[in-house]
């Protein structure tokens, strides 16, 4: 049986830096509040007209493919994880396949929000281990800035998120002591509405306690997206932040320990933990709970905000560029987010 290695990794963040003070032009907030609650100082926003989730993914993919020393035509499967796709459908996978003029290979889209990278890696790992594919391109990209409520009404969500992309080329190896050791995926749909964007959607109010439109009177087309839904901010992410926070600080350590114990390791054995960059306070809580040293945890949320699916691979790509990960290092990646979904992956780099 093969193991999965990251043969090349790259990331791309837009040039446009948006500081906490920049946000105060649109909403009632402050640099002090945002830094104290989230650790974020600034984030990147995509160019308003020239960049999409897919085009940012393409930039990251080019870097990953170059680092792997292969060409676009060597890619035999594409996995694209995002919650902010260019179109409602089709997904970004095929748009990237077209933009990069790739062969007619399979393109799978993953919708697991902040857990997108860990879920995607787990799927890719199954294909690689079984020898099905030899060069999987895994792309994670988010253009949040187009879909946030920049008024004071949306400030608890909008200040957190940033745009960016990352990609990696995954290959099989039989080299002893390298590769993905295990992945662990979980979900709890009881909390689906705690962090969600409801419309456009086909739910027809079925799941929502608070009804947003009178469907009896609605024109067929308005059931998907009506003026009332927009008035009620249903087209923006909705989040009960404190509930997310409380669940995250339990599930992060749990799923990291699950990965370590499955492979006979303890937290002190870790060379690097890359937690999904949800909130610096969550990452610090997890670090403290597992008694990890500062050099065992990599965070970059202060510069990029929460880039959802892209956050772990952007951090992984940066850490690798900075020489913070060496061949053979024990690296754990863990995520928690909307769904709720959460998961972890443990690998020898
Ligand atoms: N600026 C100023 N004040 C604000 C802001 C803001 N940006 N946002 C909220 N407030 C106010 C609230 O209105 C509230 O005021 P009130 O007391 O007068 O009612 C007060 O601050 C406290 O609000 P809380 O929501 O209780 O603030 P909290 O301390 O919980 O911090 C935060 C909010 C940062 C969102 C936090 O709950 C959090 O990080 N939660 C986790 C979010 C997360 O990790 N999401 C990741 C998953 S994302 C994904 O999967 C897509």
pLDDT in tens, 222-245: 778 888 888 888 999 999 999 999
Identify the pLDDT of residue 307.
98
pLDDT over 90 at 212, yes or no: no
How does strand 136-142 pair with strand 77-81?
Answer: parallel
The one-character DSSP state at 161 is: B
The pLDDT of 256-260, averaged and rounded, is 98
Q: Report the half-sphere exposure of 29 (CA within 13 A, side-chain side).
A: 29
Identify the pLDDT of residue 223.
78
The pLDDT of 135-156, averaged and rounded, is 97
Identify the pLDDT of residue 43.
98
Pocket test for ligand 1, best of 241, 250, 309, 336 (most atoms within 8 A of CB): 241
Identify the pLDDT of residue 232.
87
Identify the pLDDT of residue 134.
98
Question: Is 306 a catalytic site residue?
Answer: yes
Domains of the chain: 3-173 (3.40.47.10), 179-190+240-348 (3.40.47.10), 202-235 (no CATH)
pLDDT in tens, 287-311: 999 999 999 999 999 999 999 999 9
Q: Are 166 and 140 in contact (CB under 8 A)?
A: yes
Does the Cβ of 38 fall within 6 Å of ligand 1?
yes
CA distance 89 to 87: 5
- The CA-atom distances, in angstroms, between 99 and each of 102, 211, 221 are 8, 41, 32
Identify the pLDDT of residue 267.
98
Annotated active-site residue in 20, 92, 112, 114: 114
Question: Is 184 a catalytic site residue?
Answer: no
pLDDT over 90 at 209, yes or no: no
The structure's pTM equals 0.96
- The CA-atom distances, in angstroms, between 67 and each of 167, 276, 321 are 11, 23, 11
Identify the pLDDT of residue 210.
80
Please state, rounded to an integer, the average pLDDT across all residues of the chain.
96
The pLDDT of 31-55, averaged and rounded, is 97
Q: Looking at ligand 1, which atom is closest to the CA of residue 115? A: 50
Q: Which residues contact 141 (CB under 8 A, 6 or more apart)?
A: 53, 54, 56, 57, 60, 80, 82, 92, 164, 165, 166, 309, 310
């Amino acid at each position: 049986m093969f193991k999965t290695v990251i043969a090349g990794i790259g990331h791309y963040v837009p040039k446009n830096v948006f500081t906490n003070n920049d946000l105060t032009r649109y909403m009632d907030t402050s640099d002090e509040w945002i830094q104290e609650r989230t650790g974020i100082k600034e984030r990147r926003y995509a160019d308003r007209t020239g960049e999409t989730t897919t085009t940012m993914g393409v930039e990251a993919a080019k870097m990953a493919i170059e680092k792997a020393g292969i060409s676009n035509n060597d890619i035999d499967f594409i996995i694209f994880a995002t919650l902010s796709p260019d179109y409602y459908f089709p997904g970004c996978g095929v748009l990237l396949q077209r933009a990069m003029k790739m062969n007619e290979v399979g393109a799978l889209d993953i919708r697991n929000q902040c857990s997108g990278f860990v879920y995607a890696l787990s799927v890719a790992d199954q294909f690689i281990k079984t020898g099905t594919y030899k060069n999987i391109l895994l792309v994670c990209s988010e253009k949040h800035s187009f879909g946030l409520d920049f008024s004071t009404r949306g400030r608890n969500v909008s200040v957190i998120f940033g745009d960016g992309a990352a990609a990696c080329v995954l290959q099989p190896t039989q080299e002893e002591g390298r590769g993905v050791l295990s992945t662990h995926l979980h979900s709890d749909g009881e909390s689906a509405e705690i962090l969600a964007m409801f419309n456009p959607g086909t739910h027809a109010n079925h799941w929502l306690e608070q009804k947003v439109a009178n469907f009896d009177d609605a024109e067929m087309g308005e059931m998907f997206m009506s003026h009332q839904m927009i008035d009620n901010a249903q087209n923006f992410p909705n989040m009960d932040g404190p509930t997310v926070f409380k669940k995250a600080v339990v599930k992060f350590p749990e799923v990291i320990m699950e990965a370590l114990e499955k492979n006979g390791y303890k937290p002190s054995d870790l060379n690097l933990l890359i937690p999904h960059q949800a909130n610096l306070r969550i990452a610090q809580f997890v670090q403290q709970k597992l008694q990890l040293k500062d050099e065992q945890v990599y965070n970059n949320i202060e510069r990029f905000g929460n880039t959802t699916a892209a956050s772990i691979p952007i951090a992984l790509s940066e850490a690798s560029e900075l020489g913070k990960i060496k061949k053979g290092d024990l690296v754990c990646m863990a995520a928690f987010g909307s769904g709720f979904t959460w998961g972890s992956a443990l690998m020898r780099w």
